[in-house]
Amino acid sequence: MDDKLKRRLGYVRQKLFGSYPGYPILKPTDTCGVEVLGEKAFQDSCREVAPLTLLDTPRLANLWQLCRMSNPGGNIIEIGSFKGGGALHLSNSCPERTVIVCDSFEGFQQLDPNLDKNFDAEMFKNTSQGRVEALFRSRGRNHRVVAGFFPQSCAGVELGPISFVHLDADIYKSTIESLEYLNDRMIDRSLIVLDDYFRRATGVNQAVSEFTTRHKSWAAFPLFPGQGLLIHRSWFGE
């Protein structure tokens, strides 16, 4: 059985039994009193973006709260936006801030057979720049949609000050190149949230390890389920 079929069968079993085969939820999550879950704006945003994103409620909650914590003087950027649901959710959390939405709109550029085994070349092609543009125009948000493979796609593009990044590039090459490109373009009290960290995406894990080894001003921490948080030392003063 090939990896693609295994993944599809795994997702079917997850829908039927509540967890992916081999990755059980041994004790249900206690949601009592978790304030973000009871926030109407968060609930409304989750309902709005549900058809447009693969992100589940815990990951959407992490993005919502962390984006609000980041420096309000900086823009929000999402790299790997697919249908734009994650970026719209971030915009909903801080509607006064500019959001920059980046995606190739044609899937992956290059997969490493050793580091990127969790993905295949046919993934994430069911989208278009026009549909994502229309999504943001209809909400009247300050936005910019950038098509192409990041960071090359942003050559000559004015990104402005950036203080929150959602990096959902999935694979090694895109993740390491994005981190290096953004390193000198972010202001104090910035945060980077990565998707697929410690989630069988070896390339993402390696990229984060290499980046934080080279750039000691950043520290990486895992977030449940399957995200990573990069915190800059500017959060802690001199």
Phi, psi of 127 (to 5 degrees): -160, 175
122 occurs within a structural domain: yes
Question: What is the three-class DSSP state of 90?
Answer: helix
Domain encompassing residue 188: 55-236
149 occurs within a structural domain: yes
Output 40 or 114, whichever has higher pLDDT.
Answer: 40
Does position 72 have pLDDT exceeding 80, yes or no?
yes
The mean per-residue pLDDT over the stretch 198-221 comes to 95
Cα gap 199→118, rounded to integer Å: 9
Give the helix, strand, coil percentages of the chain, each rounded to 5: 40, 20, 40
- Please tell me the predicted confidence (pLDDT) of residue 20: 79
Q: What is the CATH number of the domain that holds 183?
A: 3.40.50.150
Cα gap 206→176, rounded to integer Å: 9
Cα gap 108→111, rounded to integer Å: 7
- Please tell me the predicted confidence (pLDDT) of residue 119: 64
196 occurs within a structural domain: yes
Q: Which of 112-126, 164-178, 213-227 has the lowest mean pLDDT?
A: 112-126
7 occurs within a structural domain: no
Cα gap 88→216, rounded to integer Å: 32
Residues 93-113, buried b or exposed e (16+ Cβ, 10 A)?
bbeebbbbbbbbbebbeebee
**C-alpha closest to that of 89 among 111, 59, 117:** 59
Give the model confidence (pLDDT) of 1-18 as tens digits.
Answer: 556 666 666 656 666 666
Output 64 or 119, whichever has higher pLDDT.
Answer: 64
Does position 238 have pLDDT exceeding 90, yes or no?
no
Give the model confidence (pLDDT) of 78-117 as tens digits.
Answer: 999 999 999 999 999 999 999 999 999 887 777 767 776 7
Number of domains comprising the chain: 1
Q: What percent of the chain has pLDDT over 90?
A: 75
User: Helix 40-49 vs helix 57-69: angle between axes, to the nearest 10 degrees?
Assistant: 120
18 occurs within a structural domain: no
Cα gap 52→49, rounded to integer Å: 5
43 occurs within a structural domain: no
211 occurs within a structural domain: yes
The mean per-residue pLDDT over the stretch 146-167 comes to 94
